Chain A
Amino acid sequence: ILNVEQSPQSLHVQEGDSTNFTCSFPSSNFYALHWYRWETAKSPEALFVMTLNGDEKKKGRISATLNTKEGYSYLYIKGSQPEDSATYLCAFHYNTNAGKSTFGDGTTLTVKP
């Protein structure tokens, strides 16, 4: 099992703070990197699919960057709101077998009003 690591494991911020998390993955055999948002008692929902080195994606206040050469992706949330509270998961897909995916353990974000 290849290692996909997310840091920090948890994060507590105040409403209005900006924050970011990291997903580290193997720099070889890269096919795609996905970010998912997972709220308590719900199912994970896709945020971004990133495939190219240097990719930057944005959805509202959330954005992500990708560096496949060094094996990391950052997720940024600008001006955090309580509704951003969730666990954020990244998933690495292999180019030798794109059907196989390895998830990180997630970063749990709590935004206090």
Chain B
Amino acid sequence: EAQVTQNPRYLITVTGKKLTVTCSQNMNHEYMSWYRQDPGLGLRQIYYSMNVEVTDKGDVPEGYKVSRKEKRNFPLILESPSPNQTSLYFCASSLLDGNEQFFGPGTRLTVL
């Protein structure tokens, strides 16, 4: 089944404890992106990747890192999480940039 998977789905952590949210797609998509969603707001783009080893900042990249060593994986890294990073995170992929995006199930992160 064609899909985007994220892990973990739920995470409660403490300030400063490094964490990684994994994202994987099995559709051979070139483009992948991370978004966060906060109450009352739409999706805000954190980082995106046009292809392997090519990543770029979205609108809200501060406090996050990403890597794209393989086409299928695009992990989101929070080196030192803070409470303002408590949010719902979505990973998405598309065949190419500008095509319709397929979203993962979301990761709900709480930073205490």
Q: Which residues in A have some Cβ–Cβ distance to B below 8 Å?
A: 1, 4, 6, 31-32, 34, 36, 43-46, 49, 51, 89, 91, 93, 97-106
Contacts and interface: CB of A to CB of B under 8 A. Distances in A.
B82 interface: no
Could you say which interface size class chain B belongs to?
20 to 34
Contacts of A32: 98
B58 A100 contact: yes
A32 B48 CA distance: 16
B57 to A, nearest CB: 9
Interface of B: 31, 33, 35, 40-45, 48-50, 56, 58-59, 90, 97-106
**Lowest 4 A-B CB distances belong to which pairs?**
A46-B100, A103-B42, A43-B103, A98-B98
Contacts of A103: 35, 42-45
B75 to A, nearest CB: 18
